[in-house]
Amino acid sequence: MLDHVGFQCADLAKSAAFYDAVLAPLGGSRLMDFKVAIGYGTEHANFWIGEFNEGEGFRESHIAFAAATRAQVDGFHQAAVAAGAEVLHEPRVHEEYHEHYYGAFVRDPDGNNVEAVCHRPE
């Protein structure tokens, strides 16, 4: 139901490299780049990162990107590890959510909890 969501980043270039890598296995890519804000998506830019320019301090955010297959979740995880991300949860079925919830959780360069999830049984 979300139209778009955005995170402010301490180092926009570092975050852009991270999201370029981890969204590719999910079919996402950089669709818009305004140099101070970058939009990602598959058909329209529904995930944005931008320069840290308002507010103080850090509050962790969580976002889960939809994966069509479990292999895409695995690809997201592999790309995140290659990008140096802290792994919060390796790819696995999280039955506490539901019997087919296959997800992987990592931290982005700013410390946000970023997930890829597939809700299909295979």
Mean pLDDT (whole number) for 53-73 = 91
Whether residue 112 contacts residue 62, with contact meaning beta carbons closer than 8 Å, is answered with yes
Q: Which two tokens stand for residue 41?
A: 């998506």
Would you say residue 26 lies in a domain? yes
Q: What pLDDT shows up at residue 85?
A: 98
Q: Has residue 1 got a pLDDT over 80?
A: no
- pLDDT tens, position by position, 7-39: 999 999 999 999 999 999 999 999 999 999 999
User: Domains in the chain: how many in total?
Assistant: 1
Cα separation, 104 vs 44, in Å, equals: 24
Examine residue 55 and state whether it is found in any structural domain, yes or no: no
Cβ contacts of residue 62 below 8 Å, gap of 6+? Answer: 112, 113, 114, 115
Grouping H, G, I as helix, E, B as strand and the rest as coil, residue 73 is helix
Q: What is the pLDDT of residue 63?
A: 96
Is residue 79 pLDDT above 80, yes or no?
yes
Query: What pLDDT is recorded for position 17?
Result: 98
Instruction: Give the residue-averaged pLDDT of 41-66.
Output: 91
Q: Which domain holds residue 90?
A: 5-50+60-118
CATH number of domain containing 113: 3.10.180.10
> Is residue 81 a part of any domain in this protein?
yes
Mean pLDDT of 64-87: 98
